[in-house]
Amino acid sequence: MGKIGEKLDIDFVVSTGDNFYDNGLTGLNDQAFEESFTKIYTATSLQKQWYSVLGNHDYRGDVEAQVHPALRKVDSRWLCLRSFILNAEIAGFFFVDTTPFVSDYFTDMDHTYDWRGVTPRKAYLDSLLKDLESALSESTARWKIVVGHHAIKSAGYHGDTKELIDLLLPMLKAYNVDMYVNGHDHCLEHISSLDSPIQYLTSGAGSKAWRGDLNQHYKEEDLRFFYDGQGFMSVQLTKNDAEITFYNAFGKILHEWKALKELHSAV
């Protein structure tokens, strides 16, 4: 990852959540922050700003610690918030806190979740969606990219997230979002449906991967790429062009996709 970052001269890094396994951080002084972040991503090219969303495993720990500004004093690269917007000139990145959307977590008796700041849930989701719609409608970015932890569409172990299909996807379609990027499933994949120009990109294999967990219900023409090993992805954008590349853990290119914004076509 560091070598590819150097080759591409990256501007920043995006983390799709589940930043600290298995149960998030225990507090601001949890050594897991440095052991799992600062001391791991040491390559020169990765000394850029990191933008992170929360995953369901992060919610099993102290969420308020993970989003607290004090962690930025420990490592200035770290920026993790519940939902936020990054205006990167030609691109707008809209980070969404997807864990509270998933109903099953609120009835999970096997784990404890930190719902401070989320309950009452309906009010939280209504506010989140209202703010996102406002941001998407006002955005003049050439490219609109939404980032969340859970997949909208996935051929991996967890599969599609019904709540996001019902509540989030209609908004992404209405405001011409180009890409939805997520983690959660421990694989790399690219799904492109015929009913929408949105590219669904899963990058959840940065730490571990689940071998053989391919959900066969996706049609071959929709599932453009699936890899059940470790790896990561890059996104390169110009005013009229986008290039998405998936790599394995050793930096070997596994899949490439290019789009021409001006022509509204992809190859």
Taking a C-beta distance cutoff of 8 angstroms, is the pair 62, 25 a contact? yes
User: Which residue, chain included where needed, has tokens 């690269």?
Assistant: 77
- Structure letter (DSSP) for residue 254: E
pLDDT in tens, 106-134: 999 999 999 999 999 999 999 999 999 99
pLDDT in tens, 223-235: 999 999 999 999 9
| pTM given for the model | 0.96
Note the pLDDT of residue 207: 82
Please work out, in degrees rounded to the nearest 5, the angle formed at the alpha carbon of residue 156 by the alpha carbons of 63 and 167: 60
pLDDT-based confidence at residue 263 (cuts at 50, 70, 90): low
Note the pLDDT of residue 219: 76
CATH class of 2-266: alpha beta
Taking a C-beta distance cutoff of 8 angstroms, is the pair 18, 149 a contact? yes
Note the pLDDT of residue 267: 45
- CB burial readout 243-261, b (16+ within 10 A) else e: ebbbbbeeeeeebebebeb
Q: Which residues contact 12 (CB under 8 A, 6 or more apart)?
A: 48, 49, 50, 51, 86, 88
Note the pLDDT of residue 216: 67
Catalytic sites, residue numbers: 158
Q: Is the pLDDT of residue 218 over 80?
A: no
Taking a C-beta distance cutoff of 8 angstroms, is the pair 256, 245 a contact? yes
pLDDT in tens, 174-191: 999 999 999 999 999 999
pLDDT-based confidence at residue 264 (cuts at 50, 70, 90): very low
**Cα–Cα nearest to 196, from 177, 224, 223:** 177
Instruction: Round the average pLDDT of the chain to a whole number and report it.
Output: 95
Q: Output helix, strand, coil percentages for the chain, rounded to the nearest 5.
A: 25, 25, 50
